[in-house]
Amino acid sequence: MSAVLVKSTANNGQTPFDFDTFSPPKATYRSQRLPPVDPKRTPVHALLFLGGLIFFPLWFYGAFKSAEDHFGEMHRWRCQALAMITSIIIAAMLVMQLGFRTL
């Protein structure tokens, strides 16, 4: 019994084995949309992220505030990540404080 190779026309008549002529579909990558829409205005989430380095509760506010563009969403994700890390550190410190407390 012999195997039959069927030519697919899904990629403009090219088979999956035509590596020399295959071109991937054009896509919009994240890096093309990263700069803010208005470069003169800094997104609120970027300011909350930087302000959280000095006063960490700003990360919690930035983590739950909705963003208006993709650049703001990137900083919102950073605020969420640092808010989670801060919560874990605070919880660990409380557990250690309660565990090593002498009566």
The answer as to whether 4 is a domain residue is: no
Mean of the per-residue pLDDT values of the chain: 75
Structural domain count, the chain: 1
pLDDT at residue number 86: 93
The answer as to whether 13 is a domain residue is: no
Tokens, residue 99: 């565990």
Distance from chain centroid for Cα 6: 40
pLDDT at residue number 72: 82
- pTM confidence score: 0.58
* Spatial distance between the Cα atoms of 25 and 15, rounded to a whole number of angstroms: 15
pLDDT interval class at 13 (50, 70, 90):
low
45 DSSP 8-state letter: H
Question: In this predicted model, which residue has the larger pLDDT, 72 or 61?
Answer: 61
Mean pLDDT of 71-75: 83
The answer as to whether 37 is a domain residue is: no
Full domain range(s) for residue 48: 43-99
The answer as to whether 74 is a domain residue is: yes
The answer as to whether 32 is a domain residue is: no
The answer as to whether 70 is a domain residue is: yes
At 17-31, the pLDDT tens digits run 555 565 555 555 555
The answer as to whether 56 is a domain residue is: yes
